[in-house]
Chains A and B, each alone.
Chain A
C-alpha cells in the first residue's frame, strides 16, 4: 500500500489537520456537540464509546435524538443485553419508532455477547447497535470497529469510566460526568481532531 493510499484511509488522520477525511456522520441533535464532532455528528459505520461512572446522567438521552432519526429508516435499532428494561413509553415519547427496536437478550455467556454484537454490526440490518460492555480488549474492539464499517452501522458502546485508561480503536470516545443538574461531555478521542474542550449539555427530561 502506498503512503498516499494509507493517508486516504478514513481511519488515518494527520497531526495538525483539523478536518477529518469525510466520513458519514449522523447529527446528534445537540448542535454544540455536533460542532465538535468530525462530519457534524455521530460517526456512521464506526464504533463510538460512551464512558461514565455514574448512571442516570443522560448517557442514553444523549444518543436518543439520533436513534429517533434512525428509526425512520428501514433498519433495526439493536439493544444488546441492556442492563435494565428500555422503557417503551419513554422511547416512544422521544420519537423512537418502536417497530424498529430489537431487544436482544438475556445472553448467557460473554462469547455470546461478542458474537451477537459483531453479527449485529456487520449484518447491514441494523442502523444502530447499543451495547453495555466493560470487558472487551483492543482486539475485540478492533473487530467490532471493522464489523461496524462493513455493516454501515452506528456502534454505541456504553462502558465504565475506567475504560478510558485503555487505548481503543473506536472512532469516537466520550466521557460523561455530572455537572450540577447538567452533564459534562468530554471528547477524549475523535477522528481528525485534537481533544476538544468539555461541553456542558442539559440531558434532563424535558419539562423538569
Chain B
C-alpha cells in the first residue's frame, strides 16, 4: 500500500487567552484587556458577548454595558494550555506540532483509515476539544500553512486534493498571511484584495517589492517549498493545574472541574498507549496551601468515566478543609495497559473480572488501598508470623495446619493467674494437651510457648499459651 499523502489539520483556538485562564464559560462576563494607555477589550467570554461587548471596544464602554471582570492576558498559561492540548492530540496522530500562539497542527494523513475517514476524525476531535472547554476552528489542507490560513480566515475547509489548493487559497483575504502592517498596507495600496491577486503577480516582482518572505509564504502554502514542522514531544508524566475561575467549596463543583482534567489525562494516556494506576490530586487553597489525596487503581485505566466515578466516591468522603482555588492532577508513571495483569481472580470470565475489578476499585477509592486486602500464608512456625496481608487475589501455597483458631488476636493478651489457673471471664479449663512452639531464634524475635485449647465457664474456647515463669496469654478464639 502506498504511503498516504500528507494531510494537515489545523486546530485553531480563537478564545485560548481566556480559556487558558479558565474564564471562557462562567456566568460572569469576563474580558481580557489590551492594557496600555487606552485599554480595550482584547477578547471577551461568552457572557460578555451576550452583554454586547466586542473585541476592540474601549474598556470604559464595556463597563457601561454591564458588570464585567477585567483580567490581563497570561502568555505562559496559554503556552501551557496549548502544550497540554498537543499532548491530548497525541491520541489521533504521532505528529503534532505547535503553531503558537493559538494553534496546533496535526498530520492526519496516516490516521484517516484508523478513524474511519476525515469526517469522522474531524467530528471526534471537535467534540473532544469542546468537552475540554475550548472553542475551536478546524481546517485541513495538504500543506500545514494552507490549513493555518483557512483557520485564520475562519473557514472550516477540509481540502484533501492538492490540485484544488491554488484556487482555495486564492479566495482567502490577505489578512491570513499575518504580514507586518507596512507590507499589508503596501499590498492594499496596489489594489490587491486576496491571495489570488498576489498569486497572479510575477514572482520576481513580488520578491523585489516585498522581500523574499511573502513569496516564501505563498510557496510553502502551495506546497512548492518544503515546510518541515517540529514534532511536539509530549512529556513523560502528566501534570496539569486547572485554575478555577471562582473559589469552590463544594465537592460537586470540584467534580465538574476534575472531569476536564480527566479528559485531558485520558487523551494524553491514549497518545502514549498507556493507562494510569496512581492519580495524585492536589487541591490548592488560599495562600497557595495545598491538600492532597491519591487514587490507587488495581488495574491501570484510561477510562475517563471510570476514573470519574472513583473520584466521585473519594470526593464524597472528603471534607474540604477550605475553599479550593485550583485543582492539580499528577500521574507520574503512566504504565502500559496490556502488560500489567494481576493474579486477580485467575480464570475469571471477563464480565466477572470487570465486575470484581469495579467493586475493588470503588472500595479502594472510598477507603484507601490499605483497607482492602487479602490473606496469605507464610511458612513460619510462629503463629503471628504464619500469615500476612497481601494484594487481594494472591494465591497461597497450601501450608494449612490443623488445630488453629479461626480468630487470632492482633497481640497476645496477658491473662491474670489465680491459684495457678489462668483467668478469662472466669477460670480457664484446658481442653487439649500442650503444643510446644519454639521458633524465631534466627531473626531475633524468638518464642518458646506451650499452647493449649482452653474453655471458660461461659463455654468460650480460646487458644492460650504459657511462657516461661508461668505467664499466660490468650492468642486466639476458636469460634
A residues in contact (CB < 8 Å) with B = 54-61, 64, 74-76, 82-94, 98-107, 112, 115-116, 119-120, 123-126, 178-181, 204-208
Q: How far is the CB of A75 from chain B (nearest CB, A)?
A: 7
What are 27 A-B pairs with beta-carbon distances under 8 A?
A: A54-B459, A55-B479, A56-B477, A57-B461, A59-B479, A74-B345, A86-B407, A87-B383, A87-B406, A89-B383, A89-B399, A89-B400, A91-B375, A92-B396, A98-B377, A99-B345, A99-B394, A102-B360, A102-B392, A103-B373, A104-B373, A120-B359, A124-B355, A178-B460, A205-B402, A205-B403, A206-B402
Q: How far is the CB of A15 from chain B (nearest CB, A)?
A: 36
Contact-residue size bin, chain B (C-beta under 8 Å from the other chain): 35 or more
Asked whether B203 is an interface residue with its Cβ less than 8 Å from the other chain, the reply is no
Asked whether B389 is an interface residue with its Cβ less than 8 Å from the other chain, the reply is yes
Chain A residues within 8 Å of B459, by CB: 54, 56-57, 178-180
Chain A residues within 8 Å of B398, by CB: 92
| Cross-chain contact B356 with A75 (CB below 8 angstroms) | yes
Stretch at the interface among B244-252, B256-264, B346-354: B346-354
Asked whether B432 is an interface residue with its Cβ less than 8 Å from the other chain, the reply is yes
Once A88-B377, A101-B374, A104-B367 are accepted as A-B contacts, the answer to whether A93 and B404 lie under 8 Å apart by CB is yes
Chain B residues within 8 Å of A60, by CB: 406-407, 479
Beyond the given A91-B375, A104-B371, please list 17 additional residue pairs across the A-B interface where CB-CB is below 8 A. Answer: A56-B478, A85-B408, A87-B406, A88-B375, A88-B386, A89-B404, A90-B404, A92-B377, A99-B393, A100-B345, A104-B367, A105-B371, A107-B367, A125-B358, A125-B360, A205-B402, A207-B403
Once A55-B460, A207-B403 are accepted as A-B contacts, the answer to whether A86 and B375 lie under 8 Å apart by CB is yes
List 3 tightest A-B contacts by C-beta distance, closest first. Answer: A178-B459, A56-B460, A88-B387
Asked whether B176 is an interface residue with its Cβ less than 8 Å from the other chain, the reply is no
Contact with A along B317-356 (1 / 0, CB 8 A): 0000000000000000000000000010111110010011
| Cross-chain contact A102 with B387 (CB below 8 angstroms) | no
| Cross-chain contact A101 with B375 (CB below 8 angstroms) | yes
B residues in contact (CB < 8 Å) with A = 343, 345-349, 352, 355-356, 358-360, 362-363, 366-367, 371-377, 383, 386-387, 389, 392-396, 398-410, 431-432, 453, 455, 458-462, 476-479
| Cross-chain contact A89 with B349 (CB below 8 angstroms) | no
Chain A residues within 8 Å of B409, by CB: 84-85
| Cross-chain contact A123 with B401 (CB below 8 angstroms) | no
A16–B33 Cα gap in the complex (Å)? Answer: 84
Chain B residues within 8 Å of A101, by CB: 374-375
Chain A residues within 8 Å of B405, by CB: 87, 90, 205
Q: How far is the CB of A143 from chain B (nearest CB, A)?
A: 17
| Cross-chain contact B478 with A205 (CB below 8 angstroms) | yes
A101–B348 Cα gap in the complex (Å)? Answer: 15
With CB as the reference atom, state the residue of chain A lying closest to B407: A84
| Cross-chain contact B401 with A74 (CB below 8 angstroms) | no
A1–B342 Cα gap in the complex (Å)? Answer: 47
| Cross-chain contact B363 with A104 (CB below 8 angstroms) | yes
Once A74-B349, A93-B401 are accepted as A-B contacts, the answer to whether A54 and B371 lie under 8 Å apart by CB is no
Q: How far is the CB of B400 from chain A (nearest CB, A)?
A: 4
Once A56-B461, A112-B367, A116-B367 are accepted as A-B contacts, the answer to whether A84 and B477 lie under 8 Å apart by CB is yes
Chain B residues within 8 Å of A57, by CB: 459-461, 479
Q: How far is the CB of B371 from chain A (nearest CB, A)?
A: 6
Chain A residues within 8 Å of B453, by CB: 205, 208
Q: How far is the CB of B154 from chain A (nearest CB, A)?
A: 51
Q: How far is the CB of A63 from chain B (nearest CB, A)?
A: 10
Q: How far is the CB of B304 from chain A (nearest CB, A)?
A: 22
Q: How far is the CB of A105 from chain B (nearest CB, A)?
A: 6
Q: How far is the CB of A30 from chain B (nearest CB, A)?
A: 16
A58–B477 Cα gap in the complex (Å)? Answer: 9
